[in-house]
Amino acid sequence: MPTVQTGSTVVETYRFSPSDLVRERRPPGISAFVRTRNGADFIEAVIRSHIGHFDEIVVVHNRCTDETPAILARLQSEFGADRLPVFDYRPEVFPPGSVQHVQEPADSPRSLVTYYNFALARTRFAVALKLDDDHVANAAEVARVVARIRREGIPRDQVWCFSGVNIARDPDGRAGVPSFDPVVGLGDHAFFPVDATTYFHHDPRFERFRAPGRRRVFVGVLYWHLKYLKAAAGFANYGIEAGDNPRYGRKREEYLANRTVISVAELRAMATEMRRRFWLASLLEKQRLRRDAWTAIAGGVVDDGDLDRILRSLGQPIARAPADTPSPQP
């Protein structure tokens, strides 16, 4: 049986079964789940920006060596264990893109797939969504979508996908949207009604969420993605230095080679063109989601004032990229 230690339920091992998702009738409501390793940079901001919107946020931390467990214990004392259940998942979990992830069986306790499915299986409510430890809510848009879910529900043949906008700093310390990677989340983050078919499967590159027979529908740009503001630009947990993760090693090199940032106003101008580019490809699901994300951005769901407020809330300098920065296409 798991044991409770400093606010976290300790989990020494786990094997997932789809029946874990339907052990009892799930009451109406929305559960978010977060998996984190050394997420102290932004985990508190993530939880505070989202917890007022959902019925619970389940947090599972794995092999942390920073202040993440202490931060979570303090937040749990504030919000309560029912609203913020926290689990200390002890098996070594291999990161996405790593050689070990490719080789590890999907049902192993050390598999990223099992780790994600454990977090999902700990949720209690009828609708769930995955959050990352570097997602800060675009609050008005989150509130809009959550109100719609509580009012109408999600059709059983759909999952409701959402995207985010990346934030980074250029070599001079100016904050903005990275020109080479402006928009994130094209189907991998979604609200979905939970049942025995909605869980994660193995892909050689990462975990893959599947919801058979359900169509992905875009519902909004719901978060600011802070990965590139983390220590080591968010690449510290991938085993790159050991040579075990060529996929994310290449991603880090791409980031280091192009650190130009643009203003949100320029992102919106770019979006007008990008939605046209993807319009003819909209019969393909991923391209349709990309088109819809660009359409929302062009319509003004984020602006530079929002970016300033996010930076201020994080205690970070507000120095932004000037509005006349060149805007290369992603």
**Complete DSSP assignment for 54-84:** SSEEEEEE-S--SSHHHHHHHHHHHH-TTTS
Contact 321, 261 (CB under 8 A): yes
Contact 202, 260 (CB under 8 A): no
Q: Where are the domains of the chain?
A: 3-12+26-313
328 pLDDT more than 50: no
Helical (H) or strand (E) element with 285: helix 285-298
Average pLDDT over residues 225-231: 97
**Alpha-carbon Rg for the chain in angstroms:** 19
Contact 91, 14 (CB under 8 A): yes
Q: Residue 278 has what DSSP assignment?
A: H
How far, in Å, CA of 60 to CA of 86, rounded?
Answer: 6
* Order of all β-strands in the sheet with 261-262: 168-169, 175-178, 261-262
Q: Encode pLDDT of 23-66 as tens digits.
A: 788 999 999 999 999 999 999 999 999 999 999 999 999 999 99
Contact 76, 43 (CB under 8 A): no
Q: Which fold has domain 3-12+26-313?
A: Spore Coat Polysaccharide Biosynthesis Protein SpsA; Chain A (3.90.550)
**pTM for the structure as a whole:** 0.93
238 pLDDT more than 80: yes
